[in-house]
């Protein structure tokens, strides 16, 4: 089972990101589960969502306290208490920032990969919504699902121009991170 925790801010598509990742997994024949830890949602407030991907039915309903991977949609959230809590030894952190991994790594002190997802989203979508770029990078790093699975999940969610722009965005994002960098780690979890 792979457990992922996604941190973002209201308006960044945190829940959509979790749902897209689990949908892609389910449509590929795996078991998937995604759910938010809702606060009273408002734009800009820190929000959290969770994803589990497994090869058997997922029955537990508890929050992901010990994620294999963290996706952080806003670098400033790294300073929020609890955001880095529980990351399993050897786990990976994907951070949306234009800074390089070494700079962020000084702050976080773990296996960080960075992606300028907001910048890429502005270029390709015309809007600063980083979620789909981060999912693309996450799949490129872990190779737990083919990129085609994300494409299909996006096709269920978006249409027309927005879909086209998202497809260009995920293509661009996948070029920014080392393919298979977290593959061993992802496979060690047994998913």
Partner 1 sequence: MRQALEGSQAIARAVALCRPQVIAAYPITPQTHIVENIAKLVADGKLVCEYVSVESEFSAASVVLGAAVAGSRTYTASASQGILLMSEVLFNIAGSRVPIVMTCANRAVGAPLSIWNDQQDSMAVRDAGWIQLYCADNQEAVDTTIQAYRIAERTELPVMVCVDGFTLTHTLEPIDVPSQQQVDAFLPPYHFARTLDPMKPISMGTLVSPDFYPEARHSHHQALLNAAAEIVAADADWCALTGRSQGSLVQVEGDADASVAILTLGSVIGTLADAREMHPELGTVKLIRLRAFRPFPSEALLQACAGVTDLVVLERALSPGGGGIVGAEVKAALFDMPNPPRVHNFAVGLGGRDIPLDIYPRLLQAVRSQSPRPFAVFDVELDKLPAEDR
Q: Which residue's CB is nearer to partner 1, number 11 or number 31? A: 31
CB 186 to partner 1: min, Å: 20
Q: How many of the other CB atoms lie within 10 Å of CB of 41? A: 12
CB 36 to partner 1: min, Å: 6
Report the distance separating Cα 19 and Cα 6, nearest Å. Answer: 11
Backbone angles phi, psi at 95, to 5 degrees: -120, 135
Q: What is the DSSP letter of 75?
A: G
Among 12, 14, 33, 131, binds partner 1 (CB under 8 A): 33
Among 34, 94, 139, 173, binds partner 1 (CB under 8 A): 34
CB 57 to partner 1: min, Å: 8
What is the DSSP secondary-structure string of 108-167?
H-SEEEEE-HHHHHHHHTSS---HHHHHHHHHHHH-SS-HHHHHHHHHHH--HHHHHHHH
Among 62, 79, 160, 190, binds partner 1 (CB under 8 A): 62
Report the distance separating Cα 3 and Cα 63, nearest Å. Answer: 10
At 50 the three-state DSSP class reads strand
Report the distance separating Cα 128 and Cα 122, nearest Å. Answer: 5
Tokens describing residue 6:
């996604």
**Binding of partner 1 by 158 (CB under 8 A):** no
The piece of 16-24, 70-78, 85-93, 163-171 that touches partner 1 (CB under 8 A) is 16-24
CB 180 to partner 1: min, Å: 26
> Per-residue x/- marks for partner 1, 137-156, CB under 8 A?
--------------------
Among 9, 10, 11, 26, binds partner 1 (CB under 8 A): 26
CB 58 to partner 1: min, Å: 7
Which positions lie near partner 1, rule CB under 8 A? Answer: 15, 18-19, 22-23, 26-27, 31-36, 38, 40, 58-63, 65
């Amino acid at each position: 089972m792979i457990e992922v925790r996604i941190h973002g801010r209201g308006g960044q598509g945190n829940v959509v990101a979790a749902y897209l990742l689990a949908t892609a997994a389910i449509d590929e024949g795996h078991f998937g589960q995604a759910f938010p830890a809702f606060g009273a949602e408002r734009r800009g407030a820190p929000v959290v969502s969770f994803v589990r991907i497994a090869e058997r039915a997922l029955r537990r309903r508890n929050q992901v306290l010990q994620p294999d991977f963290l996706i952080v949609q806003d670098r400033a959230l790294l300073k929020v208490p609890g955001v880095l809590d529980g990351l399993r030894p050897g786990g990976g952190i994907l951070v949306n920032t234009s800074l390089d991994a070494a700079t962020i790594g000084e702050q976080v002190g773990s296996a960080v990969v960075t992606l300028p997802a907001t910048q890429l989203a502005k270029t390709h979508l015309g809007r600063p919504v980083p979620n789909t770029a981060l999912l693309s990078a996450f799949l490129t790093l872990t190779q737990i699902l083919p990129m085609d699975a994300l494409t299909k999940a996006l096709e269920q969610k978006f249409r027309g121009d927005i879909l086209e722009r998202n497809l260009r965005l995920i293509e661009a994002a996948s070029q920014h991170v080392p393919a298979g960098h977290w593959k061993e780690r992802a496979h060690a979890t047994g998913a």
